[in-house]
Amino acid sequence: MVQTWSKMRRLLRYRYLPPDYEQILFQQYQDCRQGNRTVQAYVEEFHRLSSRNNLLKTNAQQVARFIGGLRINIQDRVSMHTIYSLTEAINLATKAEEQLDRTRSTGIPRSPIESMQTTAHKGRFPLNPPPPCPTLQKDQVAVGRK
């Protein structure tokens, strides 16, 4: 007969869960990535997996794990900031996603190649080149020396 809740839980786990259940949960947590999902959907999955694992992670570890699972273009924008909490990381990721969506919808974004081409020569050449110097004939040079 089961008299305590902890014993009941232990028996249920033994009966219905695989022996490596905790390892499976932890692997799911480690493999959690944003992929094609929105930041909000990724956050929900991240929180679900975090709560199902009995993790003794510090806030900094959770922030690093969360950022590591974001899409690269969002991860790059979020990583530009010093982040101290998971809430802060989530807010920045949401804003970065909104910003990227806005630039995609306006049709203004340039490809990385176009950006490199336009910035590679920036500052090297004047916008208005000076007029060409007239070429001097031998007769003109000789006249100038007299």
Both tokens assigned to 14: 């033994």
* Alpha carbon distance 14, 6 (integer Å): 12
Tens digits of residue pLDDT in 86-142: 999 999 999 999 999 998 888 765 555 545 555 555 555 555 555 666 665 555 555
Helices (H), the chain: 5-16, 21-31, 39-52, 59-68, 72-78, 86-106, 112-120, 138-145
What ranges do the domains of the chain cover?
A: 32-107
* Alpha carbon distance 69, 67 (integer Å): 5
pTM of the model: 0.65
